[in-house]
Structure 1
Amino acid sequence: MEKTILVAGATGNLGKRICGELLKRSAEVRAIVRVNTDDEKIEALKKMGVNVIEIDLKSIEKIADACQDVDCVVSALAGLGDVIVDLQKTVLDGAIKAQVSRFIPSDFCTDYNALVPGENRNFDLRRQFRAYLDSTSIKACSIFNGAFADILKYNTPVLNLKDRSISYWGDKEEWKLDFTTMDNTAAFTAEAAMDGNAPRNLQIASFQISPKMIWDDVREATGHEFRMQKLSSLEDFAQSIKKQRADNPAGEAELYAKWQQAQYMYSMFSTQHHRLDNLRYDNISWTTEFEYINSFLK
């Protein structure tokens, strides 16, 4: 039977991909967007076949109306507390009012459940929303994808193309990091949205790769040997992040504050996915580490 899935955050990079993957699976896809959303973004969704509903996203009643007869709400919203906590609560309340049975929150990140609260601002916001979500009767499913593989292109310490270096902290040269492409994340999310038996938590990764493995792949892809370096102990890294945050209070209002990026890197070297659920759905073609790295280094 055809399922109806509503997506919040559908105009974003991930949200639009999720809509596309749902349509491939013959779902009826609705998207709720703010009034006065950019016309080009709305038209792009409509051309795909998405039913776009422009509403006041502060209105639980309007959201509930949009959620009538919906099987699952998927949140691909991105932002700080006003979005991840406040707006998601409103979307959730509207879904519950409309008696939607399932909700996928915007937990597209490293699985923060085993991490210490206070070490990552964006994870703390997701914890706050998770507590509210789990206090309701709706069935929830969080999808943890580690880091989006795109960051490997952007000269982070893990792979700095400009400096031709690969870095790590502590004794983590062979620590495997979880990376998932946006396309793989979107495909898996679409499958989970249509899976009424999806569990509370799902962990995925297109590939798990250590700094040493990145070094090997870069050498194979380019013929060049990048510099491998230890930057500091994890303890010193944690202290430097705290100092960065204290010295830059304006960053509290920035989604991608420099210290927040460092917090995320610290989390990747502090936890990893031990139980991948990649095989739960058998029609996803997972991107390999060399395939991905070679795609932008060749």
Structure 2
Amino acid sequence: MTTTVVVAGATGDLGGRIVRALREHDTHVRLLTRSRSSPSAERLAATYPGVEVVTADYTDHASLTTALDGAEVVVSAVSGTRPVIGDAQRALLAAAVEAGVQRFIPSDYAADYRSITPGTNRNFELRREFAADVDAAPIRATSVLNGAFTDMLTGQAPLILFDRQRVLYWSSADQVLDFTTKDDVARTTALVALDPAPPRVVEVAGDRVTARSIADAMSRLTGTPFRLQWAGTAGTLSAMARVGRRLSRAGDDEPFPAWQGMQYFVSMFSGEAELRHVDNARYGVQHWTTVRDVLAAHLGT
């Protein structure tokens, strides 16, 4: 029997990858879009036969419920701040419950936000708040936790200073850091969506490294010594992030300001967000893209 999966946020980077991963299986995929004319959604539907585009505004409960009717699973890949991760997802969750959807996958796709210190990571706290709503709802839910996206190491996450042959670290160069590529996260999410009885949380890590091992990998890949550079403690970085947040002109409206990136490093290098129950073998033997693989591709080696 073909499973019907609704993907919210499908026109985003990760959402599009999830759609592609789902279409590798016997699934009927619906792309949920708020605009009646969404070129991105139309391109996805044209690229992957069997994909249907449905339109509903998150503020219109009736139309949202209709869009989800008959689906077994709702996958949320929306991205944003409180109006999206909180308000829009709550509307999506309520509609899923009313439509009789069996399972819900929230837009987590992150490190383990469940035990971070309050006030140290805004985006993680928004996910923790929404998780409480999910747990209280009469629907089975599964969160996918994957650490940070490995793809960010080549640009967005300033951990590796390529031009200066340095790898930054806070507190300890031997703190375990979890990384998974977006494609591997998308594949895992698709498998979770098709799993009739997944657990509340599925933890995967394409690679588990340290700042020290990243420096060693870069040295080997480039033939040039990459040295570790201590940038302070995780506590110092957290204080800097708080100052940056107060001075930010965008306030809390911007999804990934510089201070939020600092907060992510705080969560990782403090060890609070480290994954504790990684189960890469849950869905059998899979190919996991390592940090070295991503760096090698970036360097063209």
How far off its partner does 1:45 sit?
2.9
How far off its partner does 1:235 sit?
2.1
How far off its partner does 1:15 sit?
0.6
What number of residue pairs does the alignment pair up?
297
Aligned to 1:292: 294
Matches within 5 A, 1:1-298: 1-49=1-49, 50-154=51-155, 156-170=157-171, 172-248=172-248, 250-271=250-271, 272-297=274-299, 298=301
274-283 or 16-25: which moved more?
274-283
Distance 1:183 1:37 in 2: 27
Q: Over the residues paired in the alignment, what is the CA RMSD in angstroms? A: 1.5
191-200 or 44-53: which moved more?
44-53
How far off its partner does 1:117 sit?
2.0
For residues 236-274 of structure 1, the C-alpha deviation after alignment (integer angstroms, 9 at most, x for no partner) is 222222222222253322111111110011111123112
Aligned residue identity for 2:232: S
How far off its partner does 1:35 sit?
1.7
Aligned residue identity for 1:34: R
Distance change (3 Å), C-alpha of 1:40 and 1:273: closer
2:150–2:291 Cα contact (<8 Å) kept: no
SS of the residue corresponding to residue 293 of structure 2 reads helix
For residues 197-250 of structure 1, the C-alpha deviation after alignment (integer angstroms, 9 at most, x for no partner) is 111111111001111111111111111112311111222222222222222253
Distance 2:253 2:163 in 1: 29
Please, which runs of 5 or more residues in structure 1 have no aligned partner? none
How far off its partner does 1:142 sit?
0.5
Aligned residue identity for 1:244: G
Distance change (3 Å), C-alpha of 1:284 and 1:232: same
154-163 or 29-38: which moved more?
154-163
How far off its partner does 1:36 sit?
4.2
Distance 2:64 2:136 in 1: 20
Aligned residue identity for 1:135: A
Distance 2:80 2:74 in 1: 18
How far off its partner does 1:157 sit?
3.8
SS of the residue corresponding to residue 92 of structure 1 reads helix
TM-score norm. by structure 2 comes to 0.94
Structure 1 ranges of 4+ moved more than 6 A:
none
TM-score norm. by structure 1 comes to 0.95
For residues 131-159 of structure 1, the C-alpha deviation after alignment (integer angstroms, 9 at most, x for no partner) is 11111110110001110111110163421
